[in-house]
Amino acid sequence: MRKSSSNPPTNIIPSNIDEADLVRAVETSGYPLQGVVAEKLEKLEFKVTEEWGFIDSDSQQHRSLDIFAYKILHGDGKDPISPRVALLIECKRTIHPYVFFKAISESKIFTFPVVAGVAGAGVELEQRDGKMSMSASGQRVLGLDQLPFVNSVPRCASFSKALPSGKRVELSGADPFNGIVLPLVKALEYANKMYKPHGNVRVDPTLLLCMCVLDAPMVLVESPTKASDPVLTPWVRITRIQASLEPHRNPYKFHAIDMIHIDSLESIMVNHVTPFTEEFTNRALRLGAIWKSGGVVESLAGWEWDQIKVKPAKK
């Protein structure tokens, strides 16, 4: 085994471990998956932090996420409006397949993706006649739910890990939830607060996307009638509904996590995530001043993002 020029004589492999066996063990295990993912994202010009720390909102304890990747999408970050994207990523490597069950209902998830960095209660929209107003999320203001990235990925309400048990295979849902869903949802809550705007000087609309990159077989069950005919697929989206502590105001929070196979990560980033962030940037910049002053629409009963006008200044 090679030795660096600064290696001390005491830093040696113990005599009871064969060096060739150790090298084979390293080759078999592979480089830590989060390092592989980090390298791919850096090539795509993301700034990457491994073992990103955050505070669990329930326990108030410090936790860590495998990867936090960040990119300024327009300008140098000093512009009055500076769109950005942040990826919150967990990485899992296993020989055991993950089995995903496609959701039967395809209801809209109005809080996906989260747009942080704008007014905490949402952007204030007013009907032109002045009779009604409402607060709309950044996602809703930008009409992101109309874009292919949001609509074209198979949505799954549940998933399990397939584990051998003697001659049978059993599906377990506890480990995927505790090891993937829970930390990503907690990290998302923290990041959303972290990007809360301070003052009224600038606006940084920031896309927060949760991902789990898998180096494992991914199997999709498309419907109850196709349970005997699953399909291998590299990309699905897990949707979760979380009960709120304030049910009288907003009873539920909706979260979505993209599950992506490691060997499709670059392709998905280039062909799907990048076009989505480019359109997000274009829309965020086009709406301009509404992020600070609010907007006006003809009717709150029905409006599109490109129909929002800047609210006139009060005389």
Distance between CA atoms of residues 256 and 84, nearest Å: 19
pLDDT value at residue 276: 97
Q: How confident is the model at residue 198 (pLDDT cuts 50, 70, 90)?
A: low
pLDDT value at residue 219: 96
Q: Is the model's pLDDT at 304 over the cut of 70? A: yes
DSSP conformation letters of 131-152: S-EEEE-HHHHHTGGGSHHHHS
Give the pLDDT mean for 198-222. 88
Contact 70, 192 (CB under 8 A): no
Average pLDDT, the chain: 87
More confident residue, 165 or 243: 165
Rounded-to-10 torsion of CA 121, 188, 263, 176: -130
Half-sphere exposure of 132 (CA within 13 A, CB side): 8
Distance between CA atoms of residues 81 and 200, nearest Å: 11
Distance between CA atoms of residues 240 and 97, nearest Å: 21
Contact 160, 99 (CB under 8 A): yes
Q: Is the model's pLDDT at 77 over the cut of 80? A: no
pLDDT in tens, 236-293: 999 887 766 665 556 567 789 999 999 999 999 999 999 999 999 999 999 888 888 8
Q: What percent of the chain has pLDDT over 70?
A: 91
pLDDT in tens, 153-164: 999 988 999 888
DSSP 8-state class, residue 269: I
Q: Is the model's pLDDT at 118 over the cut of 90? A: no
Q: Letter for the amino acid at 151?
A: N
Burial grade of 203 (CB within 10 A; 0-12, 13-18, 19 or more): buried
Burial grade of 214 (CB within 10 A; 0-12, 13-18, 19 or more): buried
